[in-house]
Amino acid sequence: MSEKLNQLPTDDLFLLDRFINGNDDAFTIIYNRYVNQLMAFGMGWGFDKETLKDAIQDVFYKLYFNRKAFQGVSNPKFYLIRALKNRILDIQKSNMDTTDLTGLEFSVRPTVLDELIAEEERNKIEKQIELYLNLLTGRQREAVYLRFIEEMEYEEIAIILEMSAPAVRKLVCRAIARIRTEELSLVMLLCISRMIN
């Protein structure tokens, strides 16, 4: 990376503008900022790492050679997650005999840093989170992941899930209510997991 890379401000809108206007260093910063988040999101769809790496590279390749696609984008994370989801669905369609994607479900497997807690506690928390998330439908898991892990707005989630924002709110509320009936708040587990990370 060039010396200029470290001199660029980190503001997303500034980086987007610089990238659209031909600055490859800005593109590198955008890539490095979001590649791990895209990988984590893609893992929720159950794809292997190599397929995900290819899908993410496809998204960034297309973006690099069609910079103008980024014009008017105010939230690059939302744009990239949506683009990756579309690419994943395209890959899934090409691998299926039919175009019915109702069987494709999003899942979340949380991670906790080993340095911060003992291995037994980490396994216990992961099992608890997995147990509670398995109570949810794939759609609920995806909505909860996008809302609480990726910290996306309901309107953004609605576009990704192809639902209305009120329907997404209802979906998330029902997911949380379902978890609460099991006497443990998903929000608290997700917060604990984030704090430990």
DSSP string, 43-60: HTTT--HHHHHHHHHHHH
Q: Is the pLDDT of residue 120 over 60?
A: yes
When the pLDDT of each residue in the chain is averaged and rounded to a whole number, the result is 78
Supply 168's token pair: 């997404």
Measured from the Cβ of residue 165, the count of other Cβ atoms closer than 10 Å reads: 14
pLDDT bracket for residue 2 (50, 70, 90): very low
Phi, psi (deg, nearest 5) at residue 60: -70, -35
On the question of pLDDT at 6 being above 50, the answer is no
pLDDT at 4 over 80: no
C-alpha span between 185 and 149 (Å, rounded): 15
Where do the domains of the chain lie, and which CATH numbers do they carry? Answer: 3-95 (1.10.1740.10), 119-196 (1.10.10)
More confident site: 165 or 100: 165
pLDDT of residue 122: 66
68: DSSP letter: G
Distances (CA, A) of 184 to 12, 111, 132, 177, 193: 36, 18, 8, 10, 14
Whole-model pTM: value is 0.58
Q: How far apart are CA 44 and CA 164, in angstroms?
A: 22
pLDDT of 60: 93
- The span from the CA of 83 to the CA of 66, in Å, is 13
What does the alpha-carbon distance between residue 147 and residue 191 come to, in Å, rounded to a whole number?
12
Helices 154-161, 76-95: inter-axial angle, 10-degree rounding = 20
- Lookup result for tokens 């109570």: 135
The residue among 21, 31, 13, 153 whose CA lies nearest residue 84 is 31
129 or 118, higher pLDDT: 129
Distance CA 143, CA 158 (A): 9
- The Cα-based distances of 183 to 78, 88, 147, 173, 191 in angstroms read 32, 35, 21, 15, 16
